[in-house]
Structure 1
Amino acid sequence: MEVRKEKVTDEQLKELIPDLPSGQLDNYRKLASFDWRRMKLVYETLGTIKLKQKIWEFMEGHPLFKHAEASKLLDEERHIATKRMYTIFNETFLPFEKIVEDPKLFQAETEAMFMFDSSVAVKVSLTFRMFSNAIQGNGRSHHYHLIEDVAKAKIGGCFALTEVSHGSNAKGMRTTATYIPEKKQFVMHSADFEAAKCWVGAMGKCATHAIVYAMLISKGKNHGLHTFVVPLRDPKTLKPYPGVIVGDLGEKVGLNGVDNGFVMFNNYHLPKEAALDKLGGVDDNGDYKTPFRDPNKRFGAALGILSGGRVHIMSICSHYLLKAIVIAIRYSAVRKQFGPENSTEETPVLEYQQQQIRLLPYLAATYAMKIFAVWIGELHINLTINNIVGSSDDNSAERGMEMHALSSAIKPIFGWTSRDGIQNCRECCGGHGYLKAAGIGELRNDNDANCTYEGENSLLLQQTSNWLLNVWGRRDKLTERDSPLGSLAFLNNADQLLKETCAWNTVEQFMEPANLIHMYKWLTAYMLKMTAEKVASLKAEGKTNFWAKNDSQSFNAVTLSVVYGENYILNHFYKTALEYEDEKCRNVLLKLVTLYGSFLLEKHMATFYIGGYLQGDTGANLRAAVLRACSQVAPDAIALVDSLAPPDFCLKSVLGMSDGEAYKHLQNNVLTYPGSMTRPEWWRDVVYWQSYAPSKL
Structure 2
Amino acid sequence: MSGCHRLKLLQSHLVSKFPVSDHDSSLAEYLSRSQEIDKTTVAEVYFGSFYPKIVELRNKMCSSPLFDHTEDVELSREPLRQKIIEQLGFLYTSNQLTYDIDMKDPAKKSEFLYCLGEYCQMTSTRFVVHITLYLDTIQNLGTQKHRNSIDRAYCLKDYGSFAMTELGHGSNVAGLETTATYDHKTREFIINSPRPTSAKWLIGAVGKTANMTSLFAKLIVDGVDKGVHAFVIPIRDYETHQPLPGVILGDCGKKIYLDGVDNGFLIFNDYRVPYDCLLDRLSQITTDGKFKSSIKNKEKRLGIMLGGLIRGRIAVVNGSEVCMRHSLTIALRFAAIKKQFSKQNGPEIPILDYQTQQYRLIPHLAKMFGIKSCGIFLMEEFKNVRSKTFDDPECNELAEYHSILSAMKNISSSFAVAATQECREATGGMGFQAYSRLNSHRNMSDVHTTWEGDNTVLIQQAGKFIFKQVQRAFKGIKITAPSLSYLTLDLDQVKSFKVDFSTEEELYNEKLLIELMEYRVNWLLHQSIAKLQENGPKFDDMFDAWNNTQVHYLQDLGKSYGECIIAKQLLKLVNGVLEKNQMTGAVIKKLFYLFVLERVEKNSGLYLENAFNGSQIRLVKDAEVNLCRELAKDSLHIIDAIAAPDKILGSAIGNADGQMYSNIIKAVEASKRVYDPPTWLPILKQVRNAIELK
Tell me the TM-score normalised to structure 2 length: 0.90
Report the AA paired with residue 376 of structure 1: L
Q: CA deviation at 1:413?
A: 1.0
Corresponding residue for residue 594 of structure 2: 595
Tell me the TM-score normalised to structure 1 length: 0.90
Q: CA deviation at 1:395?
A: 8.1
Report if aligned partners of 2:72, 2:80 keep a CA contact under 8 Å in 1: no
The residue correspondences of 1:348-363 to structure 2 (distance < 5 A) are 348-363=350-365
Report if aligned partners of 2:324, 2:419 keep a CA contact under 8 Å in 1: yes
Alpha carbons of 1:383 and 1:469: their partners in 2 closer, same or farther (altered >3 Å)? closer
Residues 137-183 of structure 1: per-residue CA shift (max 9 Å, x gap): 11111101111211222110011111111111122112222222222
The residue correspondences of 1:126-165 to structure 2 (distance < 5 A) are 126-165=129-168
Alpha carbons of 1:66 and 1:631: their partners in 2 closer, same or farther (altered >3 Å)? closer
Higher deviation after alignment, 266-275 or 250-259: 266-275
Q: CA deviation at 1:93?
A: 5.4
Corresponding residue for residue 662 of structure 1: 660
Report if aligned partners of 1:329, 1:637 keep a CA contact under 8 Å in 2: yes
Q: CA deviation at 1:309?
A: 2.1
List gaps (5 residues or longer) in structure 1.
Answer: 1-20
Residues 418-438 of structure 1: per-residue CA shift (max 9 Å, x gap): 001001001111121111111
Report if aligned partners of 1:317, 1:414 keep a CA contact under 8 Å in 2: yes
Report if aligned partners of 2:521, 2:560 keep a CA contact under 8 Å in 1: yes
**1:428 partnered with 2:430:** no
Corresponding residue for residue 606 of structure 2: 607
Report the AA paired with residue 587 of structure 1: A
Q: CA deviation at 1:299?
A: 4.5
Alpha carbons of 1:260 and 1:479: their partners in 2 closer, same or farther (altered >3 Å)? farther
Distance in 2 of aligned mates of 1:227 and 1:375? 29
Equivalent position to 2:310, from 307, 329, 345 = 307
Distance in 2 of aligned mates of 1:428 and 1:229? 47
**1:499 partnered with 2:501:** no
**1:490 partnered with 2:486:** yes
**1:63 partnered with 2:72:** no
Equivalent position to 1:513, from 507, 510, 513 = 510
Corresponding residue for residue 18 of structure 2: none
Corresponding residue for residue 244 of structure 1: 247
Distance in 2 of aligned mates of 1:480 and 1:644? 42
Q: CA deviation at 1:295?
A: 5.8
Q: CA deviation at 1:272?
A: 1.2
Equivalent position to 1:25, from 27, 33, 53 = 27
Equivalent position to 1:397, from 391, 395, 398 = 395
The residue correspondences of 1:5-44 to structure 2 (distance < 5 A) are 23-30=25-32, 31-32=34-35, 34-44=37-47
Report if aligned partners of 1:89, 1:124 keep a CA contact under 8 Å in 2: no
Residues 291-334 of structure 1: per-residue CA shift (max 9 Å, x gap): 34666654554354433322221111111111101100011111
The residue correspondences of 1:370-385 to structure 2 (distance < 5 A) are 370-381=372-383, 383-384=385-386
Report the AA paired with residue 149 of structure 1: R
Distance in 2 of aligned mates of 1:381 and 1:205? 34
Report the AA paired with residue 203 of structure 1: V
Report if aligned partners of 2:202, 2:252 keep a CA contact under 8 Å in 1: yes
**1:410 partnered with 2:401:** no
Report the AA paired with residue 125 of structure 1: V
Q: CA deviation at 1:361?
A: 0.5
Corresponding residue for residue 123 of structure 2: 120
The residue correspondences of 1:604-683 to structure 2 (distance < 5 A) are 604-610=603-609, 612-683=610-681
Q: CA deviation at 1:61?
A: 3.2
Corresponding residue for residue 585 of structure 1: 584
> Partner of 1:91: helix, strand, or coil?
coil
Q: CA deviation at 1:80?
A: 2.3
Report the AA paired with residue 357 of structure 1: Y
> Partner of 2:587: helix, strand, or coil?
helix
> Partner of 2:651: helix, strand, or coil?
coil
Corresponding residue for residue 5 of structure 2: none
Alpha carbons of 1:69 and 1:85: their partners in 2 closer, same or farther (altered >3 Å)? closer
Distance in 2 of aligned mates of 1:301 and 1:498? 38
Distance in 2 of aligned mates of 1:435 and 1:235? 42
Equivalent position to 2:458, from 451, 457, 460 = 460
Corresponding residue for residue 83 of structure 1: 86
The residue correspondences of 1:95-244 to structure 2 (distance < 5 A) are 103-244=106-247
Distance in 1 of aligned mates of 2:296 and 2:625? 55
Residues 197-216 of structure 1: per-residue CA shift (max 9 Å, x gap): 11211111111111111122
Report the AA paired with residue 601 of structure 2: E
The share of aligned pairs that are identical, in percent, is 27
> Partner of 1:32: helix, strand, or coil?
coil
Report if aligned partners of 1:207, 1:233 keep a CA contact under 8 Å in 2: yes
Residues 202-235 of structure 1: per-residue CA shift (max 9 Å, x gap): 1111111111111222233322222111111112
Report the AA paired with residue 177 of structure 2: R
> Partner of 2:93: helix, strand, or coil?
helix
Corresponding residue for residue 92 of structure 1: 95
Residues 504-553 of structure 1: per-residue CA shift (max 9 Å, x gap): 23222333332221111111011111112211211123441111011111
Distance in 1 of aligned mates of 2:586 and 2:420? 26
> Partner of 2:398: helix, strand, or coil?
helix
Alpha carbons of 1:675 and 1:398: their partners in 2 closer, same or farther (altered >3 Å)? same
Distance in 2 of aligned mates of 1:188 and 1:655? 52
Corresponding residue for residue 565 of structure 1: 562
Distance in 2 of aligned mates of 1:446 and 1:61? 25
Residues 337-364 of structure 1: per-residue CA shift (max 9 Å, x gap): 1233x25122111111110111001011
> Partner of 1:490: helix, strand, or coil?
coil
Q: CA deviation at 1:77?
A: 2.5
Residues 586-637 of structure 1: per-residue CA shift (max 9 Å, x gap): 2223210011111122111112223x22233321112112111112211210
Distance in 1 of aligned mates of 2:428 and 2:679? 32
Report the AA paired with residue 362 of structure 1: H
Equivalent position to 2:692, from 683, 691, 695 = 695
Q: CA deviation at 1:444?
A: 0.9
Report the AA paired with residue 374 of structure 2: F
List gaps (5 residues or longer) in structure 2.
Answer: 1-22
Corresponding residue for residue 475 of structure 1: 473
Corresponding residue for residue 537 of structure 2: 540
Q: CA deviation at 1:125?
A: 2.0
Higher deviation after alignment, 297-306 or 435-444: 297-306
Report the AA paired with residue 28 of structure 2: D
> Partner of 2:451: helix, strand, or coil?
coil
Distance in 1 of aligned mates of 2:501 and 2:221? 62
Report if aligned partners of 1:24, 1:659 keep a CA contact under 8 Å in 2: no
Report if aligned partners of 2:251, 2:264 keep a CA contact under 8 Å in 1: yes
Corresponding residue for residue 258 of structure 1: 261
Distance in 1 of aligned mates of 2:375 and 2:330? 21
Q: CA deviation at 1:476?
A: 6.0
Report if aligned partners of 2:653, 2:660 keep a CA contact under 8 Å in 1: yes
Q: CA deviation at 1:102?
A: 5.2
Report if aligned partners of 1:357, 1:627 keep a CA contact under 8 Å in 2: yes
Alpha carbons of 1:632 and 1:618: their partners in 2 closer, same or farther (altered >3 Å)? same
Q: CA deviation at 1:417?
A: 0.6
Distance in 2 of aligned mates of 1:619 and 1:425? 27
> Partner of 1:214: helix, strand, or coil?
strand
Report the AA paired with residue 370 of structure 1: K
Distance in 2 of aligned mates of 1:480 and 1:91? 49
Corresponding residue for residue 436 of structure 2: 438
User: How many corresponding residue pairs?
Assistant: 667
> Partner of 2:692: helix, strand, or coil?
helix
Alpha carbons of 1:101 and 1:229: their partners in 2 closer, same or farther (altered >3 Å)? closer
Report the AA paired with residue 465 of structure 2: W
Alpha carbons of 1:675 and 1:314: their partners in 2 closer, same or farther (altered >3 Å)? same
Distance in 2 of aligned mates of 1:258 and 1:136? 24
Higher deviation after alignment, 347-356 or 292-301: 292-301
Alpha carbons of 1:608 and 1:303: their partners in 2 closer, same or farther (altered >3 Å)? farther
Q: CA deviation at 1:498?
A: 3.8
Distance in 1 of aligned mates of 2:27 and 2:394? 50
